[in-house]
Amino acid sequence: MSQGKLKIIHYLNQFFGQIGGEEKANIAPLIKEGPVGPGGALNNGLAGLAEISKTMICGDSYFSENLAASRAEIKQMLTEEKPDLVLAGPAFNAGRYGIACGNVAEIATELGITVISGIYPENPGYDLFKQYAYFVETGDSAASMRQAIPNMIKLVKSYFEQGGKLGSPEEAGYLPRGVRKNLFVEKRGSLRAVEMLIKKLKGEQFETEYPMPVFDRVEPRPPVKDITKATVALVTSGGIVPKGNPDRIESSSASKYGKYSIAGLDDLSTAEYQTAHGGYDPVYANEDPDRVLPVDTLRELEKEGKIGKMHDHYYSTVGNGTAVAAARAYAREIADELVNDGVQAVILTST
């Protein structure tokens, strides 16, 4: 670390960077002198210890749609500035913003620079990039800014006062990073496990050394009463989109999904459809998109009277690297629309 007042670079999106809202989401990365927006409060809280010398700002849409270029520009900026620490956000539950902050953290880590950020635990940026930053937990919206900023300041102070080190998430106050560290302890693992088990059986307090992830348990729905009268929809995580990928769904870590009309279509032609997925060989899907999204087969079943009808729209995204929290959010939105449209059954295809 440098001598004297320590140097911090702060990353913000176009909104918190005070450039504009969604209409300015396509701006390329730029640098402003000193703190901007929430950086002012962060800077005041760190007075005498460190200062935000410059602020990097990039539009959320630009970052997600020009990922390679954005990462290259951010890396060049950080390489030139050589900060002691990078701050990002807080991003709350803004998906594109959270993923951008995570990418910045990954780049900074590659350069040997520590990153402290703030994020809502269900933001896909946390799930995808938690190992690259110390994320302070925030609420799901900017309404929790007053709590997020002091917590970030506290963590930054602890980091610098402890010589660039932080204790465990429980001790220091950041979200678990999924990083394992070797420790030397007096009791071997088998003995500690038995002691924890005995405490659990007695109903006593104990703390696990390896918290297990929480998996969804989805109850099966009852069968469709009469499939010959049901409206059936197609949803895919295989990335089938109209030619040219008009919604620019990312090939990995998708930040969106698309809704497309197939009204009157009996077949997905290779001239009009393709896959945007980057996690499997696209050759066979591009040769015949029906291999991933079986419009042709479902249309045949419709004509034969084996299903009532095929829904006029299908939904598509990319499952490759997409965070569980993001996928869950897409599912809720898609399901709400399908229910409102009177759909009784969904065929979900992958790759």
Contact call for residues 139 and 116 (beta carbons, < 8 A)? no
Burial class (CB in 10 A: 0-12, 13-18, 19+), 268: buried
Give residue 185's pLDDT. 85
What is the identity of the amino acid at 322? T
Beta-carbon neighbour count of residue 328 at 10 Å? 12
Edge-to-edge strands of the sheet including 231-236? 258-261, 309-316, 231-236, 345-349
pLDDT in tens, 171-218: 899 999 877 777 788 899 899 999 999 999 999 998 887 777 677 788
Q: N- to C-terminal Cα distance for the chain? A: 47
Write down the mean pLDDT value for the chain. 91
Helices and strands in the chain, H and E counts: 11, 12
Is the peptide bond preceding residue 294 cis, with omega within 30 degrees of 0? no
Strand-pair category, 50-58 with 30-33: antiparallel
Which DSSP letter does residue 312 get? Answer: E
Q: What is the dihedral of CA 335, 336, 338, 344, to 10 degrees?
A: 70
pLDDT in tens, 138-149: 998 899 999 999
57 strand-pairing partners: 12, 30
Q: Where in the chain is the domain with CATH 3.40.50?
A: 6-172
Contact call for residues 62 and 70 (beta carbons, < 8 A)? yes
What is the identity of the amino acid at 92? F
Give residue 2's pLDDT. 42
Tell me the CATH number for domain 6-172.
Answer: 3.40.50
Residue 1 has pLDDT above 70, yes or no: no
10 strand-pairing partners: 55, 87
pTM of the model: 0.66
pLDDT in tens, 35-75: 999 999 999 999 888 999 999 999 998 998 898 999 999 99
